[in-house]
Amino acid sequence: MITSVLVANRGEIACRVFRTCGELGIRTVAVHSDADANARHQRVADMAVRLPGAAPSETYLRADLVVQAAIASGADAVHPGYGFLSENPDFARAVLDAGLIWVGPPPEAIEAMASKTRAKELMGLAPLREVAQGDLPVLVKASAGGGGRGMRIVRRLEELDAALEGARTEAASAFGDGEVFVEPYIEDGRHVEVQILADTHGTVWTLGTRDCSLQRRHQKVIEEAPAPGLNPELTATLYETATRAARAVAYTGAGTVEFLVTGDQAHFLEMNTRLQVEHPVTEAIHGIDLVALQIRIAEGHALETPDPPHARGHAVEARLYAEDPASGWTPQTGTLHHLAVPPSVRLDTGYDDGDEIGVHYDPMLAKAVAHAPTRADAIRKLAGALERTTIHGPTTNRDLLVRSLRHKEFTTARMDTGFYTRHLPELTTTDPDPHAPLAAALADTQGRSRFGGWRNLPSQPQTKRYAMAGEEHEATYRHTRVGLSAEGVRVVHADARLVVLEVDGVRRKFEIARYGDQVHVNATTLTALPRFPDPTAQHAPGSLLAPMPGTVIRVADGLTEGAAVQAGEPLLWLEAMKMEHKITAPATGTLTALHAVPGQQVAVGALLAVVQPA
């Protein structure tokens, strides 16, 4: 019987495993890098062991250090979570060789399926050995890992070499394995997967289907179970293929078999030999705890029945990321001051209020899951909960999620993996509240005034300036004998935290929170601007500034000051949050300054280069 579990992971998945362990009466052990020294997952664990360093390659990808941590802490089992070492057969062997219980499939099964090239060969498929014009488009894909890292779409042959190099570099950094392969890229299919669970006594459960078609950069954003609109014959084929894959490698534990579905045809993609990020939607409709079942299987117990429990209702999950979808999905960093989601939905998160969102790891803040009797009910429930969610901190994809869930193509189950390629501009169109600057100004006035805003005589108009949705806005108001007034509205109430305005006979409440110059007014974020802008805080036209803190990993071959560049031409690459970000020339012209060098750590807003337009 397992009494203590070390989770060889971080963030949300570590916290989620710890929650189940706590319910089962199992002690918990966390490992953490120096960047995660105050992370939530190590705070909620019973014990924590430091892994010196910050980069994944120095910490969470060091199998030897993780095994040493398990032994030192007295853990008798290791749960790998997802990502990092979760699909590394050598790590699984090291855990078993140390006399510990491995909460996962046998190393041989991981080895057979964790490499996508070997998995395809096992399923009778093969990657492309040579690429010709007629094969395009193709997908360059990392053999190990997932989450969209180490993947590139190639539409022109001359782009292939650069795509291979970029995918290898990113895969090696994220997974410690730079092997990549090439396969045909099927555009606009649906990403459908089957959850399996197998014990050591020969029972294999297929726990329904999931649809994960809404993706950005090959990484899932919204998932649901069951996958809508599949005919019974196709569903049966998916179940049979998933079961065959599990039995082919004597699989045990939780795993997922993924497919690309076009029409009534299913194309095998891969088998993930671990728990998936989206496992909560399966748990919701089947009324089970997959982590608890993983632990029971690792202890040698058999699944209680030959067949899985019946599914009930529908579940939808949305991943809340600290990123800006309107700016190329750029990851965001900073302090998460406050996150509050209505209790009507399940929330899995690795953050508490006041935690820092750093540059080293994936920018996912949380997963929100809604379960309801029907798909329409689940979608409405989740969209409404996200709309009422309070997020004070960096920019997130929350508004994108709400709009995606309410988009007709999604509500009618006609979505595919090209959803964001087609609809991103309309989904990221800014619609800021026009009264937010006034509410912010009134709250700021009350918060800074010791005796309130009452005056015996009317005052001159007061103004405050804010940046909102990339534009400057000015709020004008007056102090009067009876309080505050503003043109076109009636100020019903104003204090530092709450402003109530009456507009055309309708009263509206504005909840205000301020952190430095950042002001949150309901769901709108503003930046308070100084009365007199600093004339030195300007950059020359054509300046390329770092969109996020990160590491310069590459500069374009032969790029030197004085070189001619074309608009959109890649000049250098940053690595942040395990993803590679391309910095391109903003215009056709001459590179007049190059400040970035490979290996350099840069802060957000750092000057990387200057291109003088032609």
Catalytic residues: 274
Question: How far are the Cα atoms of 315, 396, 410, 412, 548 from residue 399, in angstroms, in the given order?
Answer: 20, 8, 15, 20, 21
Closest CA to 409 of 423, 430, 390, 388: 423
Question: How far are the Cα atoms of 2, 136, 184, 362, 602 from residue 324, in angstroms, in the given order?
Answer: 42, 30, 30, 14, 19
Q: Which residues contact 338 (CB under 8 A, 6 or more apart)?
A: 353, 390, 391, 392, 393, 513
Separation CA 382–CA 396 (nearest Å): 16
Q: Which residues contact 496 (CB under 8 A, 6 or more apart)?
A: 443, 444, 446, 447, 512
Handedness of CA 403, 407, 410, 416 (dihedral sign): negative
Q: Which residues contact 567 (CB under 8 A, 6 or more apart)?
A: 584, 585, 586, 587, 588
Separation CA 577–CA 580 (nearest Å): 8
Neighbours of 480 (CB within 10 A): 16
DSSP 446-473: HHH-TT-S--SSPPPPEEEEEEETTEEE
Separation CA 579–CA 125 (nearest Å): 29
Handedness of CA 597, 599, 600, 601 (dihedral sign): positive
